[in-house]
Amino acid sequence: AQSVAQPEDQVNVAEGNPLTVKCTYSVSGNPYLFWYVQYPNRGLQFLLKYITGDNLVKGSYGFEAEFNKSQTSFHLKKPSALVSDSALYFCAVRDPGANNLFFGTGTRLTVIP
Amino acid sequence: KAGVTQTPRYLIKTRGQQVTLSCSPISGHRSVSWYQQTPGQGLQFLFEYFSETQRNKGNFPGRFSGRQFSNSRSEMNVSTLELGDSALYLCASSLARSQETQYFGPGTRLLVL
C-alpha cells in the first residue's frame, strides 16, 4: 500500500533562512512523488515532482526537493524563505497502478518576518 | 491556457438533499480526478475518470458518484447528504494517466446543515 508521512504539523522559519519540510513515503514499486502548496481558500498548486532521474528536483518559486531512496524521503527545501511562502504544504505519492494521489496530512509553514 | 475550473465555488445544503458539482479540466486533459478535503481526514481520493470511463475509485460510499462527458468535463454527485459530507471538493486534471502531473482547481466548498 502507498502512504506518505509528514511528521511535522507546523514549521516556523525566519524570513531569509533556509526552510525544510519533511516527507517520507512507502510505496510498492517505483515512487512517483509530488509536492503541492495550498493557500487559504485555494486549491492545490503544483510545486515539483520526482519520477526518475536526478535526485535533486527543482520546482516553482525557488523550491527544490531531494529524493533519497535509502531513507525513503522526499524533503522540500528552499534556500531563503519568504513571508509569502507561508502556506500549507502537501507531499503526495502516486499509486503506481492507477492515477490517484495519496497525500500526507500537510505541514503548515509560517515564515516570520 | 485556462486552468481547472469548478462550479459552484460555495454551496450550502441540508441533510438529505443531493448536490452536483462540476469540473472543467484544462484544455486537452482527458483525465479528471476528484478529491475530498476535510480537517479530520485530510485529502482523500474519490474517483478518476478517463475518456468518459471511471477508471479508479476510492473508499467512499455509493452516495458519491460521478461521470465524465465527451468534452472531458466532469460532474460529481452526492445523494442523501450527511453532515460529514461538509468538505472542500477538489477536482484535478491531467493529460493522461501515468507520470503526468495533476493540476487542481480551486475547489467547491460544501456545507451541509
In degrees and rounded to multiples of 5, residue A83 shows phi and psi of: -60, -35
Give the angle A69-A9-B60 at the CA atoms, nearest 5°. Answer: 80
Print pLDDT tens along chain B (113 aa): 789 999 999 999 999 999 999 999 999 999 999 999 999 899 999 999 999 999 989 999 999 999 999 999 999 999 999 999 999 999 999 987 666 899 999 999 999 99
Q: What stretch of H or E contains A95? A: none
What is d(CA B36, CA B50) in angstroms, rounded to the nearest whole number? 19
φ/ψ of B79, rounded to 5, equals: -100, 160
Is the distance from CB of B72 to CB of B32 less than 8 angstroms?
yes
pLDDT at A2: 83
Per-residue pLDDT, averaged over A20-32, amounts to: 91
pLDDT at A27: 87
For residue B96, what pLDDT is reported? 76
Residues from chain B that touch A90, judged by Cβ atoms under 8 A, are 43
Q: Do A43 and B106 touch (CB under 8 A)?
A: yes
Contact, B91 vs B23, CB < 8 A? yes
Chain B environment of A45 (Cβ under 8 Å): 104
Report, as an integer, the average pLDDT of A80-92.
97
Of the candidates B52, B44, B104, the residue with the CA atom closest to the CA atom of residue B75 = B52
Task: Tell me if B36 sits within 8 A of B54, measured CB to CB.
Answer: no
Buried b (16+ CB within 10 A) or exposed e, B19-34: bebebbbbeebbbbbb
A34 and chain B in contact, CB less than 8 A: yes
| pLDDT value at A84 more than 70 | yes
- On the question of pLDDT at A74 being above 80, the answer is yes
Which of the four pLDDT bands, split at 50, 70 and 90, describes residue A96?
confident
3-state secondary structure B45-103: EEEEEECCEEEEECCCCCCEEEEECCCCCEEEEECCCCHHHCEEEEEEEECCCCCCCCE
CB contact under 8 A, B45 and A100: yes
Q: B33 to chain A: which residues are within 8 Å by CB?
A: 99-101
Indicate whether A99 pLDDT > 80.
no
